[in-house]
Chain A
Amino acid sequence: MELKGKTWKFGSDVDTDAIIPARYLNTSDPAELAKHCMEDADPGFPAKVEAGDIIVADKNFGCGSSREHAPIAIKAAGVSCVIAKTFARIFYRNAFNIGLPIFESPQAAESISEGDQISVDMETGRIVNHTKDQEYQATPIPSFMQDIISAGGLINYVAKRVKADV
Chain B
Amino acid sequence: MAMTITEKILAAHAGREFVEPGELINVKVDVALGNDITAPVAIREFDRLDVETVWDKNRVIFVPDHFVPNKDIQSAEQAKMLREFARKHALTNFFEVGKMGIEHCLLPEQGLVVPGDLVIGADSHTCTYGALGAFSTGVGSTDLAAAMALGETWLKVPESLKFIYTGELPPWVSGKDLILHTIGMIGVDGALYQAMEFCGPAIENLSMDSRFSMANMAVEAGAKNGIIAPDSTTWEYVQGRAKRGYHFESSDPGAKYAQVYDIDVSSLSPQVALPHLPENVKPVEEVANTTIDQAVIGSCTNGRMSDLREAAAILKNRTVNSNVRLLVIPGTQDIYRQAIKEGLVETFIAAGAAFSTPTCGPCLGGHMGILAAGERAVATTNRNFVGRMGHPESEVYLANPAVAAASAILGRIAHPREVE
Task: State the A residues within 8 Å of B (CB).
Answer: 13, 15, 17-18, 21-23, 25-28, 40-41, 43, 59-60, 63-69, 72, 86, 88-90, 93-94, 97-98, 142, 144, 153-155, 158-159, 161-163
**Chain B residues with Cβ under 8 A from A26's Cβ?**
67, 71-72, 74-75, 78
B141 touches A63 (CB 8 A): no
- The answer for the CA separation of A28 and B71 in the assembled complex, in Å, is 16
Assess the B141–A68 pair: CB atoms within 8 A.
yes
Q: Which of B316-324, B383-391, B405-413 contacts A (4 or more CB under 8 A)?
A: B383-391
Whether B124 sits at the interface, judged by CB under 8 Å, is yes
A21 to B385 Cα, complex, angstroms: 10
Give the nearest-CB partner of A92 in chain B.
B193
Q: How far is the CA of A134 from the CA of B46 in the complex (A)?
A: 43
Contacts of B40 in A (CB 8 A): 28
Chain B contact-residue range equals: 35 or more
State the Cβ distance, A155 to closest chain B Cβ, in Å.
5
CB of B385 within 8 A of CB of A66, answer: no
Q: In this assembly, does B150 line the interface, its C-beta being within 8 Å of a C-beta of chain A?
A: yes
Q: List 8 A-B contacts (CB under 8 A).
A: A21-B365, A25-B37, A26-B67, A40-B387, A67-B140, A98-B140, A158-B146, A162-B49
Complex contact B386–A18 (CB within 8 A): yes
Chain B's nearest CB lies how many Å from the CB of A102?
13
Task: Evaluate whether A23 and B366 lie within 8 angstroms (CB atoms) in the complex, with A155-B142, A158-B149 already known.
Answer: yes
- Nearest CB in chain A: distance from B192 CB, A: 6
Docked Cα-Cα span, A155 to B148, in Å, equals: 12
Are A21 and B50 interface neighbours, CB within 8 A? no
Complex CA gap A142/B75 in Å reads 38
- CB nearest to A95 among chain B residues: B140
Q: Which residues of A contact B142 (CB under 8 A)?
A: 68, 94, 97-98, 153-155
Closest residue of A by beta carbon distance from B71:
A26
A17 near B383 with CB under 8 A, answer yes
Interface assignment of B65: CB less than 8 Å from any CB of chain A: no
Question: Which B residues are CB-close (under 8 A) to A159?
Answer: 48-50
Residues of B near A93 (CB, < 8 A) are: 139-140, 143
State how many angstroms separate the Cβ of B133 from the closest Cβ of chain A: 21
Nearest B residue (CB) for A59: B189
Q: Using Cβ atoms and an 8 Å threshold, which residues of chain B touch A40?
A: 385-387, 392
B122 interfacial contact with A, CB 8 Å:
yes
Instruction: Please list the 10 inter-chain residue pairs (A to B) with the smallest Cβ-Cβ separation, ordered nearest first.
Output: A94-B140, A68-B140, A26-B74, A97-B142, A60-B189, A22-B364, A26-B75, A66-B124, A66-B138, A40-B387
- Contact mask B365-388 → A, CB, 8 Å, 1/0? 110001000000000000101111
Report the minimum CB–CB distance from A105 to chain B (whole Å): 16
Q: Which residues of B contact A155 (CB under 8 A)?
A: 45, 48-49, 142, 145-146
Q: Which residues of the partner chain B approach A158 to less than 8 Å between Cβ atoms?
A: 49, 145-146, 149-150
Contacts of B1 in A (CB 8 A): none
Q: Which of B121, B138, B189 is the most central at the interface, judged by chain A CB atoms within 10 Å of its CB?
A: B189
Do A22 and B365 form a contact, CB below 8 Å, given A64-B383, A144-B154, A161-B150? yes
B41 interface contact, C-beta 8 A:
yes
B260 CB within 8 Å of chain A: no
CB distance from A162 to the nearest CB of B (A): 6
Distance in angstroms between the alpha carbons of A17 and B396 in the assembled complex: 13
On chain A, the residues within 8 Å of B365 by CB distance are 17, 21-23
Closest Cβ–Cβ distance, residue A40 to chain B (whole Å): 4
CA distance A93 to B146 in the complex (A): 13
1/0 per residue, CB under 8 A from A, across B36-71: the answer is 011011001100111100000000000000110001
